[in-house]
Amino acid sequence: MKKVLLAMFIIVATTLVACSSSSSNQTEEFPTTDIEIVAPASPGGGWDGTARAMQKLFSDENIIEENMNVVNKPGGGGEVGWQYLMDQDAHHFSINSSLLITNNLLGQSDLTYEDFTPLGILTTEWISVAVAPDSEFDSGIDIMDKLKEDPTSLKIAVAPSLGNNDHLAFVQAAKEHGVDVTQLEFMIYDSGGDVVTALLGDHVDVATMSVSEAKEQHEADKLKIVATGSEEPIEGLEEVETWKEQGIDMVFPHWRGVMGPPDMTEEEIAYWDDRISELVETEAWQDILENNEWQAFYKDSEEAEAFLEEQTANYEELLRDAGLTD
Amino acid sequence: MGVDLQYFIEGLTTAFHPMNILWVLIGGFLGTVVGMLPGLGPATAVAVLIPITFGMDPTSALILMAAIYYGAMYGGSRSSILLNTPGDGSAIAATFDGYPMTRNGQAGQALTISAIASLIGGIFAIIGFILLAKPLASFALRFGPAEYFMLFLFTLSAIVSLSKGNMVKGFIAMSIGLMLSTVGIDLQTGVHRFTFGIPQLSEGIDFLVVIIGVYAVGEVLYNYLNLDRLQNKNKLGKIGITREQWKRSKWPIIRNGPIGFLIGVLPGAGGSIASMLSYTTERQLSKHPEEFGKGAVEGVAAPESSNNAASVGSFIPLLTMGIPGSGTTAVILGAVIMLGMRPGPLLFEESPEMVWTLVNSMFLGNILLVAINVLLIGLLVKILSTPPRILYPLILVLAFIGTYTLSYSIIDFYVLVIFGIFGLFMKLLKFPIAPLILAVIVGSDMEQNFRKSLVAHDNLSSILFASPVTIVLLILTVLSVSYPFILSAIQKKRANKSA
């Protein structure tokens, strides 16, 4: 009972302090209303998962007092959700990924990262190349050698669309090795699960997909991961060499970040830098990363902006090389 | 995989833990209610409940979500039978004979037989799961692009052949459906097709919006035209089924449990295809096919047994390979990953007690659901005595809510209304609706698989003869289209002879 009283006292006291400080500043301190997280996808995927994890941890860990809601705005590879964010105020933010960049480069969207306020980059997944367990290939470089000889000799599975990270990571590795990447034969599946099925059933020769989708199958000897696009060998997959170790100089993060609507004030940006950097330090966040096979990849608002600029240049080049843009 | 008795019993005791029984009950009841509402299918129900499962033990969360799933299979057919407005793709087949039974004053019996059929289909599938999970999973892997293409082709041809005597109209409806399914980004090339610059259309037209539009909105409009002539002649009738009805449904139920189960195991097929194929199979096997579509009890029993079995079957690829076999299991997969569990090839080895708990809870859940559903019949049929002037606006409201929950987009409202009007004209001009809907459901997958198999096989004939599976499906396809003609030719000959 005493504890409850104490807690109530603290709440009342802090509210009073908060009120008085805001009145002294003449302006109310951000945030003033409930906060909305826009997941530009349907429930169940990585964007939605990131949004819901943030919603839960911000309140569980008492980082943010205000109510937070997740709204799903699926469609157009993020386009619908981001268009929606354009017209909102600073109490809204959305999850993003490289699709924000590639949609625009591929001519499927007018939006670029410059239309929004980058608030940070949160996580990355690494992308792997896998083959069937009885495949003739034991390493990624063998595959690339074969493709260098004849780029149409292998059928490569990817999901869910051309121009996405899984696709481009493979293209970049191939390009670095001197493969004629415009000739590569990709088969496009609906989801990562379908790609695994296609590989397990021997319907394709090679698959490019995120490590999280392939790792467990690899451990069960249902398929064989032969290369990863990460900086360092991946925990639990130490026996698999990265592209770098195999002599192809490339690292390819599949990142997810957050951004707010256009024209946020410096205070608002600082508020989110504060809160998000606190969030990524919590143990609960580490658990979520581990459960989803995501890697920590935190960049604050300033670093995120520079990162997005660099990524845009990189994607522009890749898409051109892959023959998807002129 | 053999049945490990120790884990089986362990799972049984966990499943009968009072808390878990409660989750089964809650999930089953929620699923039933949600399944009844047009557009609110099991995938939406599970997705909405994801935050609730965050604090739960993964096993209980899985039990809850599975119960919602098969609960929705029970519930989905309620509105099909009573109002001719299916809540989900897998409930469409229940309208074919379920709604005519209601018109004939046998609503109560139709609901009872559908609950019983669901139970038996479900139990069959659970036994199949226990005995065959692993071998079936590896069989399902053999289904490549060519096999899926032929399976979808066969399903479409079977459904068109249903519109006997009016196959041309059936083909027209199917073609329109196939055209609609091309809207959106083409996966193989990334080209936008018929999206008119509207980003919401880039993912295609959701088949659920088409279902709700053509069935629910179309039905309301149709009844609105006939409002003055409409009377409440729909009576509940008896709840108990007659011995004759049981005799006629017994074999269809038993036959179609396994069919539904096998189709459910294939990732990428699912309840809609299972129930449609079961319906057409039964009609072709029946001694009195002329009664189908006019309230034949086996026309309700067969698809109901099948779609519930399919929902159990779709857990096999999820639990043995970590691959979701349906939209709902995909959402479930996402949710259990958040809880720190990774259903995959190692799940059976690493946490067998969890798998067996789930299986046993499905057993229990199916039995509880029949009780729930039979008890609800008395309440549900009150819908039929609701005056149309109150009932139909309510259905419209539900249709709009259901549509909104699909992708939270206003654009879908326009699509819904357009398809409502379209559905009205189809009814007025007596076009069969099922070929249209099925074509919208499978059209995009069928096309993508065809294109992928062209990459793999170079030309059409090598797709058709790619494997024993495709050859069998090819023969079935040819038969299903030509069967009505052969039959009538034989009858003519006989008639000529006797004359």
- pLDDT (tens digit, 9 = 90+) per residue, A247-296? 999 999 999 999 999 999 999 999 999 999 999 999 999 998 988 888 89
Between B50 and B98, residue with greater pLDDT: B98
Are A159 and B190 in contact, with CB atoms under 8 Å apart? no
What's the structural domain count of chain A?
Answer: 2
Please compute, for residue B76, the number of CA atoms within 13 A of its CA located in the half-sphere on the CB side: 35
Between A173 and B161, residue with greater pLDDT: A173
pLDDT for residue A140: 93
Instruction: Over range A53-58, report the average pLDDT.
Output: 90
Q: Which region among B97-101, B286-290, B301-305 has the lowest average model confidence (pLDDT)?
A: B286-290
Buried b (16+ CB within 10 A) or exposed e, B446-471: bbbbbbbbbebbeeeeebbebeebbe
Please write down the HEC assignment for all residues of B77-141.
Answer: HHHHHHHCCCCCHHHCHHHHHHHHHHHCCCHHHHHHHHHHHHHHHHHHHHHHHHHHHHHHHHHHH
- For residue A216, give the CATH number of its domain: 3.40.190.10
Local confidence band at B386 (pLDDT 50, 70, 90 cut-offs) = confident
Minimal CA separation from A292 to chain B, in Å:
6
Please compute, for residue B92, the number of CA atoms within 13 A of its CA located in the half-sphere on the CB side: 30
Distance in angstroms (rounded) separating the CA atoms of residues B420 and B422: 5
- For residue A80, give the CATH number of its domain: 3.40.190.150
User: Is A236 part of any domain?
Assistant: no
pLDDT for residue A2: 55
pLDDT for residue B90: 86
Buried b (16+ CB within 10 A) or exposed e, B233-260: ebbbbeeebeeebeebbeebbebbbbbb
Instruction: Over range B36-56, report the average pLDDT.
Output: 76
pLDDT at residue A233 above 70? yes
**Residues A205 and A293 reside in one and the same domain:** no
pLDDT at residue A13 above 70? no
**Residues A261 and A286 reside in one and the same domain:** yes
User: Is A246 part of any domain?
Assistant: no
Minimal CA separation from B323 to chain A, in Å:
5
Rounded to the nearest 10 degrees, the angle between the axes of helix B271-285 and helix B145-162 is 50
Nearest CB to B344 within list A49, A202, A220: A220
Distance in angstroms (rounded) separating the CA atoms of residues B54 and B68: 16
**Residues A155 and A105 reside in one and the same domain:** no
User: Is A203 part of any domain?
Assistant: yes
User: Is A131 part of any domain?
Assistant: yes
Instruction: Over range A167-178, report the average pLDDT.
Output: 93
Interface of A with B in 258-297 (CB under 8 A): 287-288, 290-292
pLDDT at residue A187 above 50? yes
Give B139-182 as a DSSP string.
Answer: HHHT--HHHHHHHHHHHHHHHHHHSTT-HHHHHHHHHHHHHHTT
DSSP state for residue B239 in the 8-state scheme: S
| Distance, CA of B373 to chain centre | 18
User: Is A240 part of any domain?
Assistant: no
**Residues A214 and A277 reside in one and the same domain:** no
Minimal CA separation from B33 to chain A, in Å:
21
User: Is A17 part of any domain?
Assistant: no
Local confidence band at A172 (pLDDT 50, 70, 90 cut-offs) = very high
Nearest residue in B to A45, CA atom: B334
Are A184 and A151 in contact, with CB atoms under 8 Å apart? yes
Give B390-406 as a DSSP string.
Answer: HHHHHHHHHHHHHHHHH
Minimal CA separation from A60 to chain B, in Å:
11
Nearest residue in A to B407, CA atom: A74
Q: What is the pLDDT of residues B457-490, one digit of tens each?
A: 777 888 888 888 899 999 989 988 887 778 778 8
Give B40-75 as a DSSP string.
Answer: --HHHHHHHHHHHHTTS-HHHHHHHHHHHHHHHHHH
Nearest residue in A to B450, CA atom: A187
Between A54 and B389, residue with greater pLDDT: A54
pLDDT for residue A222: 85
Test mutation, B408, B412, B442, chain A, max A CBs within 10 A: B408
Q: Residue A269 carries which side chain, given as an amino acid letter? A: I
pLDDT at residue B241 above 70? yes
Inter-chain residue contact A193 with B323, CB threshold 8 Å: yes
pLDDT for residue B367: 92
**Residues A111 and A148 reside in one and the same domain:** no
Local confidence band at B228 (pLDDT 50, 70, 90 cut-offs) = low
pLDDT for residue B104: 87
**Residues A159 and A102 reside in one and the same domain:** no
Local confidence band at A23 (pLDDT 50, 70, 90 cut-offs) = very low
DSSP state for residue A242 in the 8-state scheme: B
Instruction: Give A36's strand partners.
Output: A69, A92
pLDDT at residue A19 above 50? no
Residue A39 tokens, joined:
């997941």
Test mutation, A72, A291, A294, A325, chain B, max B CBs within 10 A: A291
Give B425-484 as a DSSP string.
Answer: HHHHTT--SHHHHHHHHHHHHHHHHHHHHHHHHSSHHHHHTSSHHHHHHHHHHHHHHHHH
% of chain A exceeding 70 in pLDDT: 91
Q: Model-level pTM?
A: 0.80
Instruction: Over range B48-60, report the average pLDDT.
Output: 78
Q: Residue B46 carries which side chain, given as an amino acid letter? A: V
Decide: residue A306, CB within 10 A, 0-12 exposed, 13-18 middle, 19+ buried: exposed
On chain B, the residues whose CB falls within 8 A of the CB of A76 are 199-200, 202-203
Give A94-122 as a DSSP string.
Answer: EEEETHHHHHHHTTS-S--GGGSEEEEEE
User: Is A153 part of any domain?
Assistant: yes
Instruction: Over range A51-63, report the average pLDDT.
Output: 90
Q: What is the pLDDT of residues B150-207, one digit of tens each?
A: 989 998 888 888 776 688 899 999 999 999 999 988 877 778 888 888 877 877 888 8
**Residues A196 and A178 reside in one and the same domain:** yes
Inter-chain residue contact B330 with A80, CB threshold 8 Å: no
Interface of A with B in 178-217 (CB under 8 A): 185, 187-191, 193-194, 196-198, 200-203, 216-217
**Residues A100 and A132 reside in one and the same domain:** no
Q: Which domain holds residue A195?
A: 126-228
User: Is A44 part of any domain?
Assistant: yes
User: CA distances (Å), B452 to each of A203, B6, B153, B177, B273, in order?
Assistant: 10, 45, 15, 21, 21
Are A88 and A71 in contact, with CB atoms under 8 Å apart? no
**Residues A189 and A275 reside in one and the same domain:** no
**Residues A278 and A209 reside in one and the same domain:** no
Inter-chain residue contact B268 with A155, CB threshold 8 Å: no
At A317, phi and psi to the nearest 5? Answer: -65, -45
Q: Does A108 touch chain B (CB under 8 A)?
A: yes
Test mutation, B141, B148, B192, chain A, max A CBs within 10 A: B141
Decide: residue A112, CB within 10 A, 0-12 exposed, 13-18 middle, 19+ buried: middle
pLDDT at residue B342 above 80? no
Instruction: Give A69's strand partners.
Output: A36
Q: Which region among A54-68, B252-266, B345-359 has the lowest average model confidence (pLDDT)?
A: B345-359
User: CA distances (Å), B234 to each of B381, B386, B392, in order?
Assistant: 9, 10, 15
Q: Which residue has the tokens 């997944």?
A: A125
**Residues A149 and A59 reside in one and the same domain:** no
Q: What is the mean pLDDT of chain A?
A: 87
Sign of CA dihedral A267, A269, A271, A274: negative
pLDDT for residue B261: 93
pLDDT at residue A16 above 60? no
Are A111 and A79 in contact, with CB atoms under 8 Å apart? yes
Q: What is the pLDDT of residues A189-225, one digit of tens each?
A: 877 778 888 888 888 999 999 888 888 889 888 899 9
pLDDT for residue B39: 66
**Residues A144 and A220 reside in one and the same domain:** yes
